Structure 1
Amino acid sequence: MADKTTSPGRRPGIDAHRVEFTGSGGEYFRVWIVNVLLSVLTVGFYTPFARRRTAQYFYGHTLVADSPLEFTAQQRKMVIGFVLLVVLYATFKTASRTGQDTVASLMLLGAAALAPWLWGSAMRFRFNATRWRGVRLQFTAGWGEVYRASWPLFVMALAWAAAVLLSAALVPQGLSPAAHRRALAPVLLAASGGALLVSLWCLMRLEYNYKSLMVLRGRIGGQPGRWKPVFGDFVRIWLATLGVFLLTVLVIAALFAVALGGSFALLPKLRGMGMLAILVGIAIGLASVLLLFLASAPARAYREARIFQLVWNNIGVSQVARFRCGLQARRYVGLRIRNVLLTILSLGFFRPFAVVSEYRMKSESVTLHVKGGLDQLAGQLAREEQGLGDAIADAVGLGLVG
């Protein structure tokens, strides 16, 4: 139920409505298992239908001030967008596998140039497909704004291109193939390290640019969004995430070493044991990948929780509504670790229960604060929307990415 109590620190005339999620893991499991089975039977072509069913389930069970969200996307647009992406991907793979390197390279360059357009199209499509109390959301950013916000993508591409060119330029010519490889390795490693650092910084900036653009150019009933975070807030969260990751790696490595004990002393004895040595090597490789995934899970959950909290504590709808978020990163990280372990132990069948529990914790941590009463807000949004045409919503490209 909506919380309409007035706390001592709240100004009179401001109502608080906590977001509710009424779904359950058992209900979503039935949606999920049907989606999985039909996607397998149709070799993936059921994906747009599965995505629409999933979105409708979560939207329909998310109550904002006792009113559910609605997902009204047209299935036809989602299918067309999915088929187009499949065709483009198949064309690229065919070109790369048949030695048409020029065509493949041009397609990669085209994909990089189109990436901001694809993101903007996806945002317009998803915003326009979302309604609350009959009032729809809109994403009104122009293509110039989208491409200006996407500049970190192009810096990233230039950084990696420069790394390759610099590596080739710094290695002396006329060396034998073996000597050339030995000389190239450290240079390429150093250049790649630099490009990786630039890419990390660009990813932080890109996330900030896109989230701020989504809020500032988002509209509900004609009312613009309000955005307070600065780029430094995102940098601090990313650096803290790196710290959590390194700490987790150290803890897992220590536990792994203790668990194996003296088993490492047996590794040199496997060199002359043929197939057994190969199997042990494969097992160690798979275990390393699994441990890396497990090590990254707490860090990814920590970053997700901190960014969610930062954004929802600092956005609003014009001057008439704002949000507050009480999500605790520690609790969310604990939930993610539990869900990962149970998903592995259940061979993936716990996944829908994990998704529901994480969505519930995040959504129910958000509270909507409305100035002047909810009915007044809803009426104002509905009246202002009547003056808006659907030209933006039906512009070219909206259905490309569902």
Structure 2
Amino acid sequence: MSDSAIENNFQVVYHGVLPGFSHTDVRSALAKLFRTTEEKADKILASNRAIIKAGIDQTLGEKYLQKLSSIGIDAQLKPEPALVASTSAYEAPVAPVTATGGGAERISSNAGAATKFKTEEHVPFIFTGNGFEYFKIWIVNILLSVITLGIYSAWAKVRNKQYFYGNTLLDGASFSYTANPVQILIGRIIAFVFFVVYAVAGELSVVAGMVMGGLLIIVLPWVICKSLRFNAHYTQYRNVPFVFRGRLGQAAMAFLLWPLLGVLTLGILMPYAFYQQQKFIYGNHSYGTAEFDFRATVGAYYGIFLLILGIFVVGGIAAFVAGMVLPLLAFPVIAAMYLVVFAYFVVATSNLNYNNIHVREHRFQAGWKVQSYLWLMLTNTLGILVTLGFFLPWARVRTARYKAKHTSVHAVGDLDSFAAAEREAVGPVGEGVGDLFDIEVGF
């Protein structure tokens, strides 16, 4: 093992607020030090053991302790877990060490350092939101959207995303959504005007309606690219934005040509069309400069679709037999069949997609279960029906918690150092990723 691997194996662990310091002052100082929001700083202070920094040497770790102590934070310097050899050939760039200055970024400028020996760790996603807390946001969003005739819905969307992103944590850090609601509102106005023109054209002339319908199909790939690029650009993790680089031609192939061929082949090519769509979405994303490598195979999707076909055949036969015995029995059998199919499709495709996303040496892991997801669906649906829709916030929170609980990242090396390396790689051009017409088109 190299000397650098031995030296850079310490982590700074938060243990509480020092006596004599107020929680409010410490939160503000921590947010200022790391140039983040007070909400994120508050999540660190609320945790029992948050890793503030990892993958550093003892000298730099002691400087961290001094800086954190000066703002009222009790932290300890501890050795990281045992190092194991990484099979990945990737090594993050090593930035120069600067131990002077007042900002945390200056102290941690060597965060991108990496060696051939890296820790392997199973890092779970954690969702910290709760139903009542989100209910207050949800009900205000609905009331203001109704009062403003839908104008506030753009702000409502941002508030919803900020709540769910901000309460989704990975390795002690939450995601963030930074979009401007005005940009979303402009996109929705464009979409609304287009649909109004389409509806009016259809009433005035069949030919005009067909022309507008054809135009709608043609612009669909542009809308998909625009929306994916917008949402990626304004989604961040540890101050590093995601990027979507899919091209218009790829979108047209995935969402127009292959589905059309699927219809013309009586469904035979539909699994391949679905595979191309997932490949387009996941394979064209990146975290900073680290591109997603989507490794799913088309055969796996055919396996899912064939099993669904088998469920429909068995369910159809069961419904027919039940209907012969008692006609009223056919409906619950058909309903149960569709519920099972939907639950299986969501679980199987989610597991397949997530388990085949690699980002450099890191990869996602998912272990969703059909039985537990089906139970989640049934109880959420029952709760929404019984409460006339008021259970919807709790249903969304329960779903988000389920997804986080059954999804994780297999990290090879320190995620904090990986994010720091990407911040260094993105650099000052990060704010210029969006294009001139940076809006989200659609609803």
Does structure 2 conserve the Cα–Cα contact (< 8 Å) formed by 1:5 and 1:16?
A: no
Does structure 2 conserve the Cα–Cα contact (< 8 Å) formed by 1:152 and 1:203?
A: no
Q: Does 1:37 align with 2:104?
A: no
Letter of the 1:123 partner, please give it.
L
CA distance in 2, matches of 1:105, 1:229: 38
> Relative to structure 1, is the Cα distance of residues 135 and 341 closer, same or farther in structure 2, using a 3 angstrom cutoff?
same
CA distance in 2, matches of 1:312, 1:156: 27
Instruction: Name the structure 2 match of 1:309.
Output: 351
CA distance in 2, matches of 1:243, 1:205: 18
CA distance in 2, matches of 1:2, 1:330: 33
* Matching residue within 233, 255, 258 for 2:300: 233
Instruction: Name the structure 2 match of 1:132.
Output: 237
Instruction: Name the structure 1 match of 2:179.
Output: 73
Letter of the 2:289 partner, please give it.
G
Letter of the 2:348 partner, please give it.
R
1:200-239 matches, cutoff 5 A: 200-201=267-268, 203-239=270-306
Instruction: Name the structure 1 match of 2:374.
Output: 333
Root-mean-square deviation (CA, aligned residues, Å) is 3.3
1:85-142 Cα shifts (integer Å, max 9, x gaps): 1111111112223x32222111110111111111011110010010000000000123
Does structure 2 conserve the Cα–Cα contact (< 8 Å) formed by 1:228 and 1:315?
A: yes
CA distance in 2, matches of 1:38, 1:246: 47
Q: Does 1:376 align with 2:417?
A: yes
Does structure 1 conserve the Cα–Cα contact (< 8 Å) formed by 2:319 and 2:334?
A: no
CA distance in 2, matches of 1:309, 1:227: 13
Instruction: Name the structure 1 match of 2:384.
Output: 343
1:264-291 Cα shifts (integer Å, max 9, x gaps): 9xxxxxxxxxxxxxxxxxxxxxx97x98
CA distance in 2, matches of 1:245, 1:357: 29
CA distance in 2, matches of 1:247, 1:5: 51
1:293-347 Cα shifts (integer Å, max 9, x gaps): 665333212211111111111111123x111112212211221122223322322
Does structure 2 conserve the Cα–Cα contact (< 8 Å) formed by 1:128 and 1:138?
A: yes
> Relative to structure 1, is the Cα distance of residues 94 and 363 closer, same or farther in structure 2, using a 3 angstrom cutoff?
same
Number of residue pairs the alignment of both structures matches: 337
1:238-279 Cα shifts (integer Å, max 9, x gaps): 232344455556667777887877xx9xxxxxxxxxxxxxxx
| Between structures 1 and 2, the one with greater helix share | 1
Instruction: Name the structure 2 match of 1:183.
Output: none
Residue 208 of structure 1 deviates from its aligned partner by 1.8
Q: Give the match's secondary structure for 1:308.
A: helix
1:51-130 matches, cutoff 5 A: 51-97=157-203, 99-130=204-235
Letter of the 2:252 partner, please give it.
Y
* Matching residue within 24, 45, 48 for 2:154: 48
1:339-391 Cα shifts (integer Å, max 9, x gaps): 22332232222222222212211122111122222232122111111164555
Residue 220 of structure 1 deviates from its aligned partner by 1.1
* Matching residue within 350, 357, 360 for 2:398: 357
> Relative to structure 1, is the Cα distance of residues 153 and 34 closer, same or farther in structure 2, using a 3 angstrom cutoff?
farther
Residue 148 of structure 1 deviates from its aligned partner by 3.3
Does structure 2 conserve the Cα–Cα contact (< 8 Å) formed by 1:245 and 1:298?
A: no
Residue 22 of structure 1 deviates from its aligned partner by 0.2
Q: Give the match's secondary structure for 1:126.
A: helix
TM-score scaled by length of structure 2:
0.67
Residue 156 of structure 1 deviates from its aligned partner by 5.4
| Between structures 1 and 2, the one with greater strand share | 2
Letter of the 1:205 partner, please give it.
Y
Letter of the 1:65 partner, please give it.
D
Letter of the 1:340 partner, please give it.
T
Does structure 1 conserve the Cα–Cα contact (< 8 Å) formed by 2:315 and 2:334?
A: no
TM-score scaled by length of structure 1:
0.73
Letter of the 2:163 partner, please give it.
Y
Q: For structure 1, which segment, 242-251 or 87-96, has the greater mean C-alpha deviation from structure 2 after superposition?
A: 242-251
Identity in percent: 25
Q: For structure 1, which segment, 11-20 or 111-120, has the greater mean C-alpha deviation from structure 2 after superposition?
A: 11-20
* Matching residue within 109, 134, 152 for 2:257: 152
Instruction: Name the structure 1 match of 2:426.
Output: 385
CA distance in 1, matches of 2:354, 2:276: 16
CA distance in 2, matches of 1:135, 1:231: 31
Q: For structure 1, which segment, 25-34 or 239-248, has the greater mean C-alpha deviation from structure 2 after superposition?
A: 239-248
Structure number with higher relative contact order (C-alpha < 8 Å, ≥ 6 residues apart): 1
Residue segments in structure 1 that go unaligned for 5+ positions in a row: 160-194, 265-286
Q: Give the match's secondary structure for 1:19.
A: strand
CA distance in 2, matches of 1:104, 1:302: 38
Q: For structure 1, which segment, 338-347 or 240-249, has the greater mean C-alpha deviation from structure 2 after superposition?
A: 240-249
Q: Give the match's secondary structure for 2:308.
A: helix
Residue segments in structure 2 that go unaligned for 5+ positions in a row: 1-48, 52-79, 88-117
Q: Give the match's secondary structure for 2:347.
A: helix
> Relative to structure 1, is the Cα distance of residues 79 and 249 closer, same or farther in structure 2, using a 3 angstrom cutoff?
farther
